[in-house]
């Protein structure tokens, strides 16, 4: 192997003396670093008998190799190193060398190793210095040309450098910036936040970040600045500043904030509308469980949100299966509606609503919630039914008026004939025997009574259908009910029923229309008698009870007859609806009773157990309403 050394400064010639492995290790170590140590190994003397390093010497092309120290005298080196501890070795070497040639023995081994280490360290420092210079060069190039706004300041906050991008961004020229502080570049106090950030970074040695506004020439710049402290020998000498223009982002955020505020206001407004709407509105999850329940729903059904949220919405309906079918249709098609949906309120009453179901999906198209919007149409349907009732009553009233007039004419004839018979009996009755005369006289009296009764009934019918207001007067309820019972004396005897009267002595005298009330109680008593006649296996009983509750007068008419089926109880006050056999009932009586009581400010309710009993409860005010409800004939239908 041939080693070529660079031309230049002369090198120190070196002789190595030793034995065995120690000599070989030193030879290899020094030869490898000979160029950096500025040495040249010219002589190697191995005094060991084995000569183990001869191959290494040959490989390294050492000029002179031997086993005798006399070789040192032939070509004296500039330095001799004795690598092994050989007895008398130092003295023997000195015999063959000039006095001025130094000799390093084994005790100076640390010195040799230090020389080697120092050479390595110097080499590393040289490499690092070159790398550092290259890194600084590249960094400076990057700072100047980078598409980022970068500046450098010293500890007095004076600009040492501002790159091209920063100059362009801020609208400055380099000569305006270098050596200046922000106090001369920006309006007074406008850059305080940036100065505080830089001072804090230099004080703590930490990398800091902040956002603020800078009034650059011709523009207001919103910037985010990151500060890096610059340290040398553990001392802060300045800061790097990295600046990012966030003006567009700031304006976008401002607009977004304004949109968010508007959206919040809109959502708040919508929530207020939904929460306070009189319509029934509730939300469900895709499985049909209630998520929210507004005030309108609370008022309509009587439930609080805590009682329904988290529970299936179909439990609010009278028929859950119908709601489930509508819910499934809305889930499949996105929307479903039903005009009349029957909801069961907390107090068990039925609220009829038209219902609209709308499915809301999330941005990915997955079902999110179902909006259920319901409008209570119970009163609307009641008004519709009342209108139909009024139309029918108007027709019936017109017919009844004609019938009453037609009946009154023959009744007048009959009454006249009865009068003529009475006159004939007075003039020629002596021609008849006394028994016949008595029979005819009593017959005429009964005939006059029945004619008067029929006339009273037709007058009552005409009074019910006439347009003018009925007569209001003080009424003793006990007397009125006794009179009604007496009017039905014949029917009571025929039915074999026992009528029990339980009157509350506390019931006050009240104002109402006696003719209309008589029609009400006669109808109720007649229906009670008819119901008891249909039951053959027990004694027929009809009980009339009055009660005063300090607010209203309550009259109960109860019988132990056939009773009324549950599905019929809600329809018995409908016009032309009857539970009696064909040919026996017309469906007018209870309908007229209902309308009379509503007109007088009262009400009527029914309770019944099929096959056992029925009870009609009439409620009347002590003082009638100032404006009575118009009778059906006054509706102009």
Question: Rounded CA gap, 237 and 231, in Å?
Answer: 6
Integer-rounded Cα radius of gyration of the chain: 62
Residues 597 and 539 in one domain: yes
Which of 41, 13, 24 shows the shortest CA–CA distance to 83?
A: 24
Quick check: 579 pLDDT over 80?
no
pLDDT at 390: 61
Quick check: 280 pLDDT over 90?
no
Any domain includes 39: yes
* pLDDT confidence tier of residue 8, bands split at 50, 70 and 90: very low
Any domain includes 133: no
Instruction: Give 53's contacts (C-beta < 8 A, 6+ positions apart).
Output: 20, 23, 24, 27, 44, 46
461: its two tokens: 């019918």
Give me the residue label for tokens 């040695």: 205
Output phi, psi for 351, to 5 deg.
-110, 120
* Cβ contact 281:297 at 8 Å: yes
Residues 321 and 443 in one domain: no
Residues 423 and 516 in one domain: no
Question: Rounded CA gap, 302 and 296, in Å?
Answer: 10
Question: Rounded CA gap, 299 and 309, in Å?
Answer: 16
pLDDT at 59: 82
Mean residue pLDDT of the chain comes to: 80
Any domain includes 424: yes
Most confident of 1-10, 274-283, 383-392: 274-283
> Where are the alpha helices (H) located in 46-191, listed in sequence order?
54-59, 70-74, 89-95, 109-145, 164-170, 174-177, 182-185
Quick check: 635 pLDDT over 70?
no
* pLDDT confidence tier of residue 110, bands split at 50, 70 and 90: low
400 or 308, higher pLDDT = 308
Question: Rounded CA gap, 448 and 68, in Å?
Answer: 182
* Percentage of residues of the chain with pLDDT beyond 70: 81
Residues 499 and 597 in one domain: yes
Crossing angle between the packed helical segments 109-145 and 20-32, to the nearest 10 degrees: 30
Any domain includes 585: yes
User: In CATH, what number is assigned to the domain containing residue 174?
Assistant: 3.30.450.20
Question: Rounded CA gap, 133 and 141, in Å?
Answer: 12
Other Cβ atoms within 10 Å of 201 Cβ, number: 22
**Which range of residues forms the domain containing residue 84?**
12-122
* Cβ contact 458:404 at 8 Å: yes
Residues 635 and 486 in one domain: yes
In whole angstroms, how far apart are CA 482 and each of 97, 486, 496, 500? 166, 6, 18, 11
Which of 71, 108, 64, 110 shows the shortest CA–CA distance to 93?
A: 71
Quick check: 3 pLDDT over 60?
no
Give me the residue label for tokens 């939300």: 283
Any domain includes 263: no
pLDDT at 401: 67
What digits encode the pLDDT tens for the residues 594-617? 888 888 888 888 888 888 889 999
Residues 627 and 538 in one domain: yes
Question: Rounded CA gap, 229 and 56, in Å?
Answer: 55
The residue-averaged pLDDT of 340-349 equals: 85
Query: For residue 270, how many C-alpha atoms fall within 13 Å in the half-sphere facing its CB?
Result: 6
User: In CATH, what number is assigned to the domain containing residue 385?
Assistant: 1.10.287
Question: Rounded CA gap, 430 and 434, in Å?
Answer: 8
Q: What is the DSSP string of 561-582?
A: SS---HHHHTTTTSTT---SPT
What digits encode the pLDDT tens for the residues 382-399? 666 666 666 666 666 666
* Cβ contact 64:4 at 8 Å: no
CB burial of residue 5 (10 Å; 0-12, 13-18, 19+): exposed
Quick check: 143 pLDDT over 80?
no
Residues 583 and 615 in one domain: yes
Residues in the chain: 637
Residues 622 and 480 in one domain: yes
Contacts of 464-469 with CB under 8 Å at 24 or more apart are 464/397, 464/400, 464/516, 464/519, 464/592, 464/596, 464/631, 465/397, 465/398, 465/400, 465/401, 465/631, 465/632, 465/633, 466/401, 466/631, 466/633, 467/631, 467/633, 467/634, 469/628
Domain C-terminal end among 444, 466, 488? 466
Any domain includes 517: yes
Quick check: 457 pLDDT over 50?
yes
In whole angstroms, how far apart are CA 634 and each of 97, 282, 393, 637? 155, 42, 11, 8
Any domain includes 205: yes
Give me the residue label for tokens 């006339």: 455
48: its two tokens: 């060991």
Q: How many separate domains does the chain show?
A: 5
The residue-averaged pLDDT of 289-312 equals: 88
Which of 381, 358, 349, 375 shows the shortest CA–CA distance to 277?
A: 375
Residues 431 and 366 in one domain: no
Instruction: Give 39's contacts (C-beta < 8 A, 6+ positions apart).
Output: 11, 12, 13, 14, 30, 79
Partnered with residue 541 across adjacent β-strands are 498
pLDDT at 500: 93
Quick check: 469 pLDDT over 70?
no
Helical (H) or strand (E) element with 522: helix 514-533
| Total H helices, total E strands in the chain | 21, 22
* Percentage of residues of the chain with pLDDT beyond 90: 14
Crossing angle between the packed helical segments 514-533 and 434-465, to the nearest 10 degrees: 110
Residues 507 and 636 in one domain: yes
What digits encode the pLDDT tens for the residues 179-231? 999 888 888 778 888 999 999 999 998 999 998 888 888 788 888 899 999 88
Residues 626 and 536 in one domain: yes
Domain C-terminal end among 69, 87, 122? 122
pLDDT at 587: 41
**DSSP-derived pairing of the beta strands 79-82 and 103-104:** parallel
Residues 490 and 627 in one domain: yes
Instruction: Give 291's contacts (C-beta < 8 A, 6+ positions apart).
Output: 282, 283, 284, 285, 309, 369
What digits encode the pLDDT tens for the residues 231-243? 888 888 899 898 8
Give me the residue label for tokens 């109960």: 556
Domain C-terminal end among 346, 376, 406? 376
Task: Report how far Cα 502 is from the mean position of its chain's Cα atoms.
Answer: 59
Quick check: 467 pLDDT over 60?
no
pLDDT at 489: 82
Any domain includes 533: yes
Three-class SS of residue 283? Answer: strand
> Where are the alpha helices (H) located in 363-433, listed in sequence order?
378-428
CB burial of residue 272 (10 Å; 0-12, 13-18, 19+): exposed
User: In CATH, what number is assigned to the domain containing residue 104?
Assistant: 3.40.50.720
pLDDT at 496: 85
Instruction: Give 368's contacts (C-beta < 8 A, 6+ positions apart).
Output: 286, 360, 361, 362
Among the ranges given (153-162, 176-185, 427-436, 609-618), the one the predictor scored with the smallest mean pLDDT: 427-436
* pLDDT confidence tier of residue 554, bands split at 50, 70 and 90: very high
Partnered with residue 103 across adjacent β-strands are 80
**Largest separation between any pair of C-alpha atoms in the chain:** 208
Which of 178, 210, 174, 206 shows the shortest CA–CA distance to 194?
A: 210
The residue-averaged pLDDT of 92-108 equals: 82
What digits encode the pLDDT tens for the residues 9-53? 567 888 888 887 888 888 888 887 777 777 888 888 888 777 678
């Amino acid at each position: 192997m041939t080693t070529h050394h660079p031309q230049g400064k002369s090198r120190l010639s070196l002789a190595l003396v030793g034995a065995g492995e120690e000599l070989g290790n030193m030879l290899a170590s020094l030869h490898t670093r000979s160029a950096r140590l500025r040495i040249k190994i010219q002589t190697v003397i191995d005094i060991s008998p084995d000569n183990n390093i001869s191959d290494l010497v040959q490989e390294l092309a050492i000029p002179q190799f031997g086993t005798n120290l006399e070789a040192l005298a032939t070509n004296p080196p500039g330095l001799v190193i004795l690598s092994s501890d050989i007895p008398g070795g130092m003295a023997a070497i000195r015999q063959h060398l000039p006095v001025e040639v130094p000799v390093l023995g084994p005790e100076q081994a640390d010195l040799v190793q230090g020389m080697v280490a120092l050479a390595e360290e110097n080499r590393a420092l040289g490499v690092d210095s070159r790398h550092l210079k290259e890194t600084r060069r590249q960094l400076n190039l990057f700072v100047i040309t980078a598409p980022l706004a970068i500046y450098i300041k010293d500890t007095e906050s004076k600009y040492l450098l501002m790159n091209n991008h920063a100059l362009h961004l801020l609208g400055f020229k380099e000569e305006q910036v270098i050596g200046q502080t922000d106090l001369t570049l920006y309006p007074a106090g406008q850059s305080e936040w940036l100065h505080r950030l830089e001072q804090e970074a230099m004080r703590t040695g930490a990398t800091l970040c902040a956002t603020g506004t800078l009034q650059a020439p011709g523009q207001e710049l919103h910037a985010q600045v990151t500060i890096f402290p610059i340290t040398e020998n553990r001392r802060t000498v300045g800061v790097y500043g990295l600046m990012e223009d966030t003006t567009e982002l700031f304006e976008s955020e401002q607009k977004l904030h304004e949109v968010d505020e508007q959206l919040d206001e809109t959502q708040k407004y919508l929530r207020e509308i939904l929460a306070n709407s009189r319509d029934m509105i509730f939300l469900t999850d895709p499985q049909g469980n209630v998520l929210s329940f507004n005030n309108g729903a609370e008022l309509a059904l009587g439930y609080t949100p805590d009682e329904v949220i988290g529970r299936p919405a179909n439990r609010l309906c009278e028929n859950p299966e119908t709601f489930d079918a509508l819910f499934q249709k809305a889930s499949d098609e996105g929307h479903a509606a039903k005009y009349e949906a029957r909801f069961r309120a907390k107090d068990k009453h039925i609220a009829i609503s038209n219902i609209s179901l709308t499915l809301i999906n999330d941005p990915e198209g997955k079902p999110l919630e179902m909006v259920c919007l319901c409008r209570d149409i119970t009163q609307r349907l009641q008004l519709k039914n009342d209108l139909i009732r009024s139309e029918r009553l108007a027709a019936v009233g017109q017919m009844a008026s004609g019938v009453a007039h037609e009946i009154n004419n023959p009744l007048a004839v009959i009454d006249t004939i009865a009068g003529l018979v009475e006159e004939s009996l007075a003039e020629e009755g002596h021609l008849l025997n006394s028994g016949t005369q008595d029979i005819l006289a009593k017959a005429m009296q009964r005939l006059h009574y029945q004619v008067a009764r029929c006339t009273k009934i037709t007058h009552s019918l005409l009074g019910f259908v006439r347009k003018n207001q009925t007569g209001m007067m003080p009424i003793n309820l006990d007397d009125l009910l006794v009179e009604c019972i007496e009017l039905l004396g014949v029917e009571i005897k025929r039915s074999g029923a026992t009528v029990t009267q339980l009157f509350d002595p506390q019931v006050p005298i009240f104002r109402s229309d006696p003719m209309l009330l008589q029609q009400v109680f006669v109808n109720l008593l007649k229906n009670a008698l008819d119901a008891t006649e249909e039951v053959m296996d027990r004694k027929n009983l009809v009980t009339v009870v009055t009660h005063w509750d300090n607010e209203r007068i309550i009259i109960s008419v109860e019988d132990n007859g056939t009773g009324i089926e549950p599905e019929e109880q809600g329809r018995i006050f409908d016009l032309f609806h009857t539970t009696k056999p064909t040919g026996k009932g017309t469906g007018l009586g209870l309908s007229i009773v209902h309308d009379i009581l509503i007109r007088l400010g009262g009400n009527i309710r029914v309770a019944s157990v099929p096959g056992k009993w029925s009870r009609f409860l009439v409620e009347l005010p002590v003082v009638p309403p100032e404006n009575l409800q118009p009778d059906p004939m006054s509706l102009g239908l």
